[in-house]
Structure 1
């Protein structure tokens, strides 16, 4: 999409306001919600290009607002390296194909089903060292294919039994690395055009406004109830994208 009409701008602003609200309420979900809703009117990679600046701002904020980052980076650096490599490799393949909508739909369906189920992944302290780079690589490939960063990164981080603050910070770190790797892939393949870069920069405003609103909302309702409603919506969006691209 080389140009954006007034209707496009309004829709994009509303999407990032909602995505920021989800982020502020649950601590995650901005990329997933934004790409899922934007993909109803544009290709997933076009949606991902708009995501870059809001994702860097909100997840960088989340990453730096916790305890010192270096110990967490040391623990997760294998996963981060895998994310970078997987995104670069996946981008070289997926940007040459037209299957992004189907892959995104399937990813949203899987994410929704996993979130709504009672299944939990738990890792022992002696889990193999190669697992983190493999999880990172798989996350990178899905990032390149869909613009969504959550699978399998978030279930893996939850399985590490981090405390609440560490988990929120670890997700922020993972999402920042994923965003930077995706930005490199988009730029290298000429998929981040000036128009998209400008709109992405402006989209930070509704994203931050939504995030601040979500943080206030979090004090007034049960986060788990909100999260389950969100997962159900994402599941339905995923089914719609699968059917539309099938």
Structure 2
């Protein structure tokens, strides 16, 4: 039997609205919007409209000026009828308006997942940047440098900058590692808070099974990172992800 999102896509292509699809499959409207975004649903031009929806094909009355400046097809560029947030047209740049329109296709659950993945990616990236190879490692960086200008020319002036003073900053391995652990601990706390909020939204019926499996997998990966930070590498970790109905 086909998954609900596959059947729902056919209904969407046939012209059903979000609410009609949500009622038909017993899910929230946000879930339907999430399916549309994730599986790239698109309605074909001239899609079937449900009964009761009629299209006026008689054309505009003679001398009608509504379509002036439009030779046909899509609305002219910057036409306000294509902007959901038309009120902001006067104040926001086009790039911002485009982002706002894209955001409207994403559910609150999708937005929360985006934030989780961005935070998680930053944590993993920090592992590479702050990696300390051994306890004797030291980084030397120039903190301040002073110059004086001297004339080194013979016949005609030729000015050159000469370094007269340099101040260095040294970072030892233990200091870098301690800084990393502190920053990583804060980042992990933020990530765990986001995951908890995501799980709360899942329990409220905003998530499908695939989204619930994704967060379960991520929680397992986060627990491994926490174990390494706490130096509990000797403790075994078992990650089990089960679909509904599995025994």
What's the TM-score, normalizing by structure 1?
A: 0.22
What's the TM-score, normalizing by structure 2?
A: 0.22
Greater strand share, structure number: 2
